[in-house]
Amino acid sequence: MTADRARAALAHLRRRVVINVAGLRFELEPETLARFPNTLLGSSENRKKFYDPYRDEYFFDRHRPSAEAIIAFYQTGGRLDRPDEVPVDVFTDELKFFKLGDDVIQRYREKEGFHRVAEQPLPRSKLVKDLWVLATKPRSSHWAMLFAFFSVFAILLSVAAVCTETLPMMQYSRNEKSPFVDPYFLIETVCTGWFVLELLLRVVTCPNRKRYFKSTLNIYDMIAVTPWFITIVTMMVEPMYMYAGWAMRVTRLLRATRALKLARYSRGLRMIGLALTASLPDIGMLGVFMGICIILFSSAIFFIEFGYESTHFESIPDGFWWALITMVTVGYGDHYPTTGGGKFLGSICALAGILTIALPVPVIVTKFDELYDRQTEKDSEEDEDEHNKGNKDDIEDSEDETLSEAPTTKETIV
């Protein structure tokens, strides 16, 4: 019986499948791997080319830290968790190599936050499609890059005009009698004309207008063209409208917000905006904590400085401003403590502000890194799709040329 048991144990050991990933060895039962027969490890036919008969194992020169998670996928019956030290793109490449399947990879990517976005269909008409791509995808062609260049130039010119026209030296050169021939008004007219053309081109060629008007960037486009029309109305009714001055100030403020249109042509600006939007709960928590600290420190400085003639804090609300600028380490110097206790409290307030502001910074940076990685991978996939589509079109064109050049049956007989 002892010999039989030994032979049975040896036979059982020989049945085990030994997986070696860059020196990290795993021993698994064949039934464990057979749970997913369509994968690389689950199919004996697929993995046999990696078999090393000298060591009696399957050797894979792949990413070692990802191996444990992939082996655990078989052991747990389909549970897949990425190790914290492994980047998302590296782990994705390993999943593709071991052929875990598109559905598994998609579930993993959704778990990581890479949600699949429904692709916006392109217009059916070739002319409309070309105009839509020209206005929305600057990297699609040289003409699209030129269109984007003029748009960025118009934005920068408009913002520069808003800033320079407020200079005192420029006020004397303004033509107040004929505002319609004023140089700044002419610059504004040209820039607004380009913005209107840009907006109409996108609206007319947009395949989904409902989705278009819900986009934040498109809302900025619509806001960018309103100041010129407000200016026209204000200049026409200014003699009889007592609030025309306020309307002009609001118009200038709206013109200054055109700088936000640059986000359409800058991936970095879009990533920063998305990172801040995704970090709003953490920023809100920071705001609440800052508010509590401001109330505590302003109350403390008021009671410490109370009764001194040289005090700058006549009430607790007077300390709000001091506590805020001290916590953000700005320190304008318009309000400051004069007693020893007040200076000590100010030191604690400054240190507390540094620690408080530093808390959400890693969260925002992490969000930015995640969004940047997703956008980079998305751009690479789009470039690959466009490249494949271009190759497919070239093949179809070559086939059409071949068919057109080939003689017909009648011509061949003749």
Residue holding tokens 């820039």? 191
Assign 414 a pLDDT band (cuts: 50, 70, 90): very low
Same domain, 142 and 237: yes
Rounded percentage of the chain residues whose pLDDT exceeds 90: 11
Tell me the sheet residues that pair with 51: 58
Same domain, 241 and 283: no
Torsion angles phi and psi, residue 25, rounded to 5: -100, 140
pLDDT digits (tens, 9 = 90+) for 298-354: 999 888 888 787 787 888 888 898 999 999 888 787 888 888 888 899 899 999 988
Name every residue whose Cβ is closer than 8 Å to that of residue 305 and which is 6 or more positions away in sequence. 311, 312, 313, 337, 338, 339, 342
Half-sphere CA count of 372, side-chain side, radius 13 A = 12
Q: Are 100 and 73 in contact (CB under 8 A)?
A: yes
Same domain, 161 and 261: yes
Break the chain down into helix, strand, coil percent, rounded to 5. Answer: 70, 5, 25
Same domain, 131 and 261: yes
What is the value of pTM for the model shown? 0.59
The domain tally of the chain equals: 3
Whichever domain contains 368, its CATH number is: 1.10.287.70
For CA atoms 203, 205, 208, 214, the dihedral sign is: negative
Q: Which of 79, 112, 145 is the last residue of a domain?
A: 112
What is the arrangement of strands in the sheet containing 24-28, beginning at the earlier edge strand? 24-28, 17-21, 57-60, 51-52
Q: Are 257 and 226 in contact (CB under 8 A)?
A: no
Half-sphere CA count of 348, side-chain side, radius 13 A = 13
Tell me 30's DSSP state: H
Tell me 329's DSSP state: T
Residue 61 lies in a domain: yes
What's the pLDDT at 399? 47
Strand 24-28 vs strand 57-60: parallel, antiparallel, or unpaired? unpaired
Same domain, 260 and 278: no
Same domain, 106 and 75: yes
Residue 412 lies in a domain: no
pLDDT digits (tens, 9 = 90+) for 183-238: 888 888 898 889 889 888 888 888 877 777 777 778 888 888 888 887 777 767 65
Q: Calculate mean pLDDT across residues 279-307.
A: 87
Give the SS3 label for residue 19: strand
Q: Which of 53, 87, 112 is the last residue of a domain?
A: 112
pLDDT digits (tens, 9 = 90+) for 107-118: 887 777 665 555
Q: What is the CA radius of gyration of the chain?
A: 34
Residue 364 lies in a domain: yes
Count other C-beta atoms under 10 Å from residue 337's C-beta: 24
Whichever domain contains 22, its CATH number is: 3.30.710.10
Choice between 143 and 405, residue whose per-residue pLDDT is larger: 143
Q: Calculate mean pLDDT across residues 129-146.
A: 84
Same domain, 47 and 83: yes
Same domain, 64 and 188: no
Same domain, 133 and 243: yes
Residue 397 lies in a domain: no
Half-sphere CA count of 371, side-chain side, radius 13 A = 19
Same domain, 257 and 299: no
What's the pLDDT at 118? 53
Q: How far apart are CA 102 and CA 367, in angstroms?
A: 26
pLDDT digits (tens, 9 = 90+) for 48-96: 899 998 888 999 999 999 999 999 999 888 888 888 888 888 888 899 9
| CB burial string 48-70: b at 16+ within 10 A, e below | eeeeeeeeebbbbeebebbbbbb
What's the pLDDT at 11? 46
Residue 393 lies in a domain: no
Tokens of 212: 């278009």
Tell me 98's DSSP state: T
Same domain, 133 and 166: yes
Same domain, 300 and 192: no
pLDDT digits (tens, 9 = 90+) for 4-32: 454 444 444 456 889 999 989 999 888 88
What's the pLDDT at 166? 77
Choice between 299 and 383, residue whose per-residue pLDDT is larger: 299
**Domain containing 167: what range?**
126-265
Residue 118 lies in a domain: no
Whichever domain contains 234, its CATH number is: 1.20.120.350
Residue 411 lies in a domain: no
pLDDT digits (tens, 9 = 90+) for 57-68: 999 999 999 999
Residue 403 lies in a domain: no
| Long-range pairs for 75-80: beta carbons < 8 A, 24 or more residues apart | 75/28, 75/32, 77/35, 78/35, 78/36, 78/104, 80/104, 80/107, 80/108
In the predicted structure, residue 386 carries a pLDDT above the cut 70: no
Residue holding tokens 């498109």? 218
Arithmetic mean of pLDDT over the chain: 78
